[in-house]
């Protein structure tokens, strides 16, 4: 049974203030506007509703010419583009209802090694074809339904060379979906004073056509972590102490850099990314929850492996990997990064202690690695691996409502313990203001 633990303190760590800190006098000028818009009623977007269903798919041919066929219940518009390193063909579609066989895309043939599908953004779906070498799109068309034959999307691929493939990539290059068109802020966010409650951004990993890890019995990471994040959101909102934002609240893909941007745009005081990965070695041994913080060098081999896997999310979804902006040499950024690291480690330690009495933890449960999603230099951030879907015992727990509720309670307790010094500081200030 889960036992409530007392809030923890760490004398070696400075008390978390309202996270204005030394860099809090600087903030994004649009923070208040973004905060207001986040709570404004949003109209239903008709474009996000499925316009057609995909009912089956198949691959035919050999390593000289390969055909990809997608059966549809209605004709659709589509576009095809290419991405290199690794070689991929991207088929962009309107919102689709994918009714494909459970293991569709896992096996390739000819020039296509494997493929995947899913929602990519509101009103948009995507199919990504992994190709083992440069290819040319010889033909692409949609056949209308005829008698008992469904409508079909057909792509014919033929062998090409790298120079031609890269030329095609350059010709169709567009800004990566979800990428922030504005230059990365320099860390000078303006604290407008508009928020009173701590702001927490919950990040359910993966989504859409990026399923994440797949369990021993077929459990999808993207589904497990979304259910857990929703449960955690409910528990935190029920306290009335926090403002909660989600990077995604549906089965939709969100690029890694966009997740980081959301945390900064919402002026978050804490960013919690939730995952349930798998490991490629020792899968029958490695199990239990793990809490990760950011570091340039991985703390161990498993941490390095998990970070490598998570950082490939954008590749899996067919997002162009534009070069990361160069680090800006700025004393404010350096101070913010150091302070953020302290807060991140403080919360990670608090979280590990709360989880100890609720769930099984991996050995050395606080680890670190270079996770891209944790790289907001002014937002304390952690990544929770709830368990490992490559372990049959963990998979069984991860789909248990009772386990999910108990674990979410532990995380919520850790959040309360983390912000308790801030609440304690605000009470005297509020009482003094009332007296005046």
Look at residue 399 and tell me whether its pLDDT is greater than 90: yes
Together in a domain, 80 and 215: no
- Determine the average pLDDT of the residues in 141-158: 89
Give the CA distances from residue 325 to residues 185, 257, 347, in Å, rounded to whole numbers and listed in that order.
11, 11, 28
More confident position, 281 or 236: 236
Together in a domain, 310 and 280: yes
Q: Look at residue 410 and give its three-state secondary structure.
A: helix
Half-sphere exposure of 340 (CA within 13 A, CB side): 26
Q: Would residue 348 count as lying in a domain?
A: yes
Together in a domain, 132 and 201: no
Together in a domain, 312 and 373: yes
Confidence of residue 171 (pLDDT cuts 50, 70, 90): confident
* Opening angle at CA 178, ends 174 and 184, nearest 5: 95
Q: What is the pLDDT of residues 33-62, one digit of tens each?
A: 333 334 444 444 555 677 899 999 999 999
Question: What CATH code is carried by the domain that includes residue 54?
Answer: 2.60.40.3500
d(CA 290, CA 272) in angstroms, rounded, equals: 13
Look at residue 321 and tell me whether its pLDDT is greater than 60: yes
Together in a domain, 205 and 342: yes
How many domains does the chain fold into? Answer: 2
Radius of gyration of the chain (CA): 23
Q: By residue range, what is the domain housing residue 161?
A: 50-171
d(CA 184, CA 204) in angstroms, rounded, equals: 23
Confidence of residue 178 (pLDDT cuts 50, 70, 90): very low
Together in a domain, 76 and 153: yes
What is the distance, to the nearest Å, from the Cα of residue 117 to the centroid of all Cα atoms in its chain?
17
Q: Would residue 241 count as lying in a domain?
A: yes
Q: Would residue 337 count as lying in a domain?
A: yes
- By the 10 Å C-beta count (0-12 exposed, 13-18 middle, 19+ buried), 242 is classed as buried
Together in a domain, 346 and 413: yes
- What's this model's pTM, rounded to 2 decimal places? 0.68
DSSP assignment of 249-288: SSS----HHHHHHHHHHTT-SEEEEEE----SSSTTT--S
Contact (Cβ atoms closer than 8 angstroms) between residue 289 and residue 359: yes
- Determine the average pLDDT of the residues in 387-397: 92
Of 106-115, 148-157, 187-196, 398-407, the poorest mean pLDDT is in 187-196
Together in a domain, 316 and 224: yes
* Opening angle at CA 293, ends 196 and 39, nearest 5: 30
pLDDT value, residue 330: 55
Together in a domain, 252 and 135: no
């Amino acid at each position: 049974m889960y036992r409530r633990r007392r809030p923890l303190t760490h004398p070696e760590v400075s008390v978390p203030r309202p996270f204005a800190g030394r860099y809090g006098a600087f903030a994004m000028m649009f923070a208040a506007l973004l905060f207001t818009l986040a709570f404004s009623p949003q109209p239903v977007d008709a474009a996000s509703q499925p316009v057609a269903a995909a009912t089956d798919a198949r691959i035919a041919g050999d390593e000289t010419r390969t055909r990809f066929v997608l059966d549809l219940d209605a004709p659709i518009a589509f576009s095809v583009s290419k991405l290199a390193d690794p070689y991929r063909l991207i088929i962009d579609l309107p919102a689709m209802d994918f009714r494909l066989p459970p293991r569709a895309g896992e096996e390739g043939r000819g020039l296509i090694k494997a493929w995947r599908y899913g929602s990519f953004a509101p009103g948009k779906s995507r199919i990504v074809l992994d190709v083992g070498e440069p290819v040319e799109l010889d033909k692409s068309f949609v056949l209308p339904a005829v008698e008992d034959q469904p409508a079909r999307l057909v792509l014919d691929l033929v062998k090409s060379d790298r120079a031609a493939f890269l030329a095609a990539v350059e010709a169709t290059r567009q800004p990566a979906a979800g990428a922030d068109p504005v230059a990365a802020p320099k860390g000078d966010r303006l604290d407008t004073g508009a928020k009173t409650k701590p702001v927490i951004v919950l990040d359910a990993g993966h989504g859409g056509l990026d399923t994440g890890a797949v369990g021993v019995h077929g459990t999808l990471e993207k589904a497990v972590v979304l259910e857990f994040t929703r449960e955690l959101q409910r528990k935190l909102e029920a306290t009335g102490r926090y403002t909660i934002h989600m990077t995604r609240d549906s089965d939709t893909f969100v690029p890694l850099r966009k997740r980081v941007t959301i945390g900064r745009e919402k002026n978050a005081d804490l960013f919690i990314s939730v995952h349930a990965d798998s490991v490629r070695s020792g899968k029958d041994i490695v199990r239990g929850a793990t809490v990760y913080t950011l570091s340039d060098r991985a703390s161990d081999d498993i941490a390095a492996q998990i970070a490598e896997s998570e950082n490939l999310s954008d590749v899996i979804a067919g997002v162009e990997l534009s070069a990361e902006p160069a680090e800006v040499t700025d004393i404010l950024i350096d101070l913010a990064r150091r302070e953020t690291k302290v807060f991140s480690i403080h919360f990670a330690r608090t979280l590990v202690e709360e989880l100890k009495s609720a769930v099984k933890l991996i050995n050395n449960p606080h680890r670190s690695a270079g996770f891209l999603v944790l790289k907001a230099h002014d937002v304390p951030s952690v990544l929770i691996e709830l368990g490992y879907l490559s372990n049959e015992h963990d998979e069984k727990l991860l789909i248990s409502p009772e386990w999910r509720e108990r674990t979410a309670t532990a995380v919520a307790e850790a959040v309360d313990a983390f912000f308790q010094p801030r609440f304690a500081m605000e009470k005297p200030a509020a009482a003094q203001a009332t007296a005046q």
